[in-house]
Amino acid sequence: MKVIIRENAAEGGLWAARHIAARIKEKAARTAEPFVLGLPTGSTPLATYAELVRMVKAGELSFKNVITFNMDEYVGLPEEHPESYHSFMHKNFFDHIDIPKDHIHILNGNAPDPEAECAAYERAILAAGGIDLFMGGIGEDGHIAFNEPFSPLSSRTRVVTLTQDTREVNSRFFGGDPEAVPARAMSVGVATVMDSREVMILAFGPKKARALASAIEGPMSHYNTVSAMQNHPAGIIVCDEAAIGEVKVNSYRYFKAVEAAEG
């Protein structure tokens, strides 16, 4: 995997936005097929979304031929709830870009048949030709999407039970009450993400440092599902100095040297 280290989250977010824009344009230059983009919610991608919105408003980029698949959604939270991932994505991204509404895919956490909903999501990804680039974050417990510790690395889209840790971390959006955070979610699986032609994981701030070091230097393990990135042929981690702080000095130096040599 490649590790891109920037001074802070703002710089890392910019790098990620430019990378997405470059990939969309590269594909558009060689085919009329849509670009298929996997997307996360959370605090981490906000700077990236803001820069992509700026590019669209400046006429530098278009999402007219982009199809998106979001990673996850809470189970049982009404779509119009301000903390649903439907609300998050529209507020922070989709309402400000030129993407056709029918190109947006977000799991329906209120589907009457959750299993059928998850199976249909996997089929929709395949029907779109697979995902070109999946952007994700990393949880403090090393989760990718809502694939908590002990999620099989072969997992597919399904209903998952959130850890108490995750509910506590996310309680900041629910008035500080972990019990107000839904206990379950629908999430793409680790294998769903890893099937993408490219995966880009963003990690900013000191709270991500331990999980990130273990994902990069530890064994590939269901205990830290982002570690599946070790086996991806085109994996990129974009992080800031704080988030990379727990890796070995020699690892850090090598990542810097690779970026200097390869860009």
What residues are labeled active site?
72, 141, 143, 148
Strand 2-6: give its sheet, edge to edge: 2-6, 235-240, 198-203, 133-136, 35-39, 66-70, 104-105
Contact between 225 and ligand PGA by CB under 6 A: the answer reads no
Binding part of the chain for ligand PGA, among 134-142, 185-193, 217-225, 243-251 by CB under 6 A, reads: 134-142
Residue 26: CB minimum distance to ligand PGA, A: 27
Question: What backbone phi and psi angles, to 5 degrees, belong to 246?
Answer: -100, 0
Contact between 138 and ligand PGA by CB under 6 A: the answer reads yes
Task: Determine the residue with CB nearest ligand PGA.
Answer: 42
**In what helix (H) or strand (E) does residue 250 lie, and over which residues does it extend?**
helix 249-262
Binding part of the chain for ligand PGA, among 27-35, 135-143, 210-218, 240-248 by CB under 6 A, reads: 135-143
Number of shown-chain residues binding ligand PGA (CB under 6 A): 7
Q: Which is nearer to ligand PGA, 43 or 164 (CB)?
A: 43
Residue 40: CB minimum distance to ligand PGA, A: 6
Binding part of the chain for ligand PGA, among 39-47, 111-119, 190-198, 214-222 by CB under 6 A, reads: 39-47
Tokens of 213: 């070091």
Strand 158-161: give its sheet, edge to edge: 72-74, 184-187, 158-161
Contact between 44 and ligand PGA by CB under 6 A: the answer reads yes
Contact 14, 250 (CB under 8 A): no
3-state secondary structure of 39: strand
Q: Which is nearer to ligand PGA, 138 or 190 (CB)?
A: 138
Residue entry with tokens 């974050």: 137
Contact between 182 and ligand PGA by CB under 6 A: the answer reads no
Applying CB under 6 A, which of residues 38, 114, 137, 142 lies at the interface with ligand PGA?
Answer: 137
Contact between 164 and ligand PGA by CB under 6 A: the answer reads no
What CA–CA distance (Å, rounded) separates 242 from 247?
Answer: 11
Q: Is 112 left (phi over 0), alpha (psi -120 to 50) or beta?
A: alpha
Please report, as ranges, the residues that interact with ligand PGA according to CB under 6 A: 42-44, 137-139, 143
